[in-house]
Amino acid sequence: MTLLGSWKARGGAAPASQRMLHGALVLLAALAAPTVRAGPDDPWPVAGQQGIVLSVIVPMDQARERAAYARQIGLLCKPNQTCFVNFYTNSTEAPLAVPLPDAISNESTAAFRRSAKQGTEMFRWNCRLQIPNEDCF
């Protein structure tokens, strides 16, 4: 039975405080949902960090758009500093946690590596995306 349903079962209305609590819980549940819906310039959620490697969740509709990754790398990484980012989709809407659940870690889309010490930068797609004419892992 729901928070408000118990009052209805007794033939009354829930007190205002319980109605407000119910509304707040519904809103909190909606905000906590792991579904990623982001506009082209909105930051993607960072699922966590292990050492210096960030794990970032990519909206499904942007998973194959190289320009979208470039925008996110610009938001996540300071210029001329070492930055390692692994990108994943989350089609099963698994809860975000570190270490990543298998449902997410199996949906790797790309990896970005910048080494300030070596002066190198690399972006590679996951081969499962089958991006034509691109280096992949």
Specify which residues 53 forms β-bridges with: 50, 84
**Do residues 44 and 58 lie in contact, with contact meaning Cβ atoms separated by under 8 Å?**
yes
pTM for the predicted model, two decimal places = 0.71
One pLDDT digit (tens) per residue for the chain, 137 residues: 444 454 445 566 556 555 444 443 333 333 344 445 566 679 999 999 999 999 999 999 999 999 999 999 999 999 999 999 999 999 999 999 999 999 999 999 999 999 999 999 999 999 999 999 888 99
Per the listing, tokens 């829930």 go with: 14
pLDDT at position 40 is 63
The domain ranges of the chain are: 1-32, 46-129
Specify which residues 113 forms β-bridges with: 84, 122
